[in-house]
Every structure is written in structure tokens, then in C-alpha cells.
Amino acid sequence: MNDYLDIAGVKISNRLFIGTGKFSSNAALKEVLSASDAQVVTAALRRIDMTSKDENILDYIPKNCRLMVNTSGARDCDEAVRIARLAKAAGCGNWIKLEVIADNKYLLPDNAQTVEAAKVLAKEGFAVFAYMSPDLSTAKRLVEVGVCAVMPLGSPIGSKRGVKNAELIKILIHEIPVPIIVDAGIGYPSDAAYCMEMGCAAVLVNTAIATATDPVAMARAFSLAVQAGRLAFHHAAESQSQFANPSSPLTGFLHENT
């Protein structure tokens, strides 16, 4: 089955997106990206140095991976727009993971400022992937201003607490016409599989892979989990039952000869 994610004019077969922070080295990141067959990778602009003669993170990203620069560090609309424009001018393309975070304790996105920044960037031709706290009204506004994907957090970024916002994310999946990509808080491959089973278009994982005892093995595990969850989404039975339903008959055969 050719099950591509068609987004921003690009067909993607691997629905595991990977972040580049917290790895022990750029070489370790390269191994992870290769092992997982990831096709989308996100990196903060401040970690990309085009002029470096020693080491540039872009040298470790495989050619088949599409770079999505994130606006990490932006505290309001103006800062996010400035980072996106700098990334595009530096030759990093027009895919932007839009992050606007003014809260330094919980690192929760500022939904209102995110909408304002998305409106500006979408008009300028950016493919905007908007990171947000799951809220239906905000998601609808993001779609109205032209984002190509909505990225609700599963739980606080870097926490590895799993998909605590599952019920809110399910609402977005059912009501929002653009891809829903869960970002932040995913701690285990089972979390990623759960997101895909719900009907998410993709997941973005960083901390759970980068901080694993064996990041390469964990990247493979996440890639397989995403595939399994997607298959389950397509082929699982739709209904659940409140009562037990035996797979074999429980009556009749014990008394057939009496």
C-alpha cells in the first residue's frame, strides 16, 4: 500500500519526523537519521552555521531528508517571523516549524502569537507547521490563515510523559482539515503508535530518541511503531464494545451428545 503523506507539495512515506537537539554529537544524529529512514528533520536556526569551517549540522543530514527550521527561542510574533525570514535567506528553504514560547517554566506555546506569526509567514509563501497547545478554536484560525499542518503538543516539551492531551488531539483530528502532527512529550514508541492509531498524520520525536541508551536502536523502534500505528489506523475494527465478546462459541458443544 502506497500510503504517502502529501504535504506542502511533497510526498513523504516515513511519518516519523525527528528533531536534532540533545544528541551527543552530529555524527550520532546522522546515524539515527539513517537508521530510522526519516525524511523530515527539524533544527533550530541558531544551531545552523553556514559559515562554519569546522562543523555544520547540515553536513550530517542525509540528502533525502527535508529540513524544517524551527523558530525555537521566539517569544512573540515578530521574533518568530524574523527567524523564519533569516532561515530562508540563509538557504534553508521555506518549511518552518513555527514555535512561539514566552513561558519559561512550562514552555507552553503562545497560541495567539502563533496565529499572528502564521498569518504573516503563510502570506510570504512559507510552508508553516504550527506548534500549539491543542485547542479547536486556535487550530481553526491557523487553518484560516494558511498553515499546512497543525502540531499539537502531547505533553510538555522534553517531558517524555506521553500523550496527555489525547482527547483534545482526537477532536483536532476529526475537525481540522490539515494534517495533525503530534509534537512534544512523546516518551516511548508506544506513544507514537497510539498517535498514529488515532489518525495523526505524523509524529515528531526528539528527546526520547536522543537521550536513549542506544539512540540508533530507539530510532528504529520509533520508526517501526509509527508504521504499526498507521497500519492499525487503516485496518482496525471501528467499534468498541462495553461487554465481552468471545472469539469462540461458549454454548452448545458440551451438551451436544446428552
Going from the first residue of the chain to its last (258 residues), give the mean pLDDT of each consecutive group of 10, the final group possibly shorter.
Answer: 85 93 88 92 79 72 89 94 93 93 91 97 96 96 97 88 91 96 94 95 95 95 95 79 66 59
**Which residues in 140-165 are b (16+ Cβ under 10 Å) and which e?**
ebbbebbbbbbbbbbbebbbbebbeb
What is the set of active-site residues?
Answer: 97
Predicted local distance difference test score (pLDDT) of residue 127:
96
Q: Is 1 exposed, middle or buried (0-12, 13-18, 19+ CB in 10 A)?
A: exposed
Q: Which fold has domain 5-255?
A: TIM Barrel (3.20.20)
Q: Is the separation of the CB atoms in 151 and 204 below 8 Å?
A: yes
Cα separation values, 232 from 22, 152, 172, 196, Å = 31, 21, 19, 8
224: which residues sit within 8 A by CB, 6+ positions away? 189
Predicted TM-score of the model (pTM): 0.88
What's residue 25's pLDDT?
87
Q: Are 175 and 136 in contact (CB under 8 A)?
A: yes
Contact, 162 vs 186, CB < 8 A?
yes
Return d(Cα 248, Cα 46) in angstroms, integer. 60
The continuous run of DSSP H or E covering 16 comes out as strand 16-19
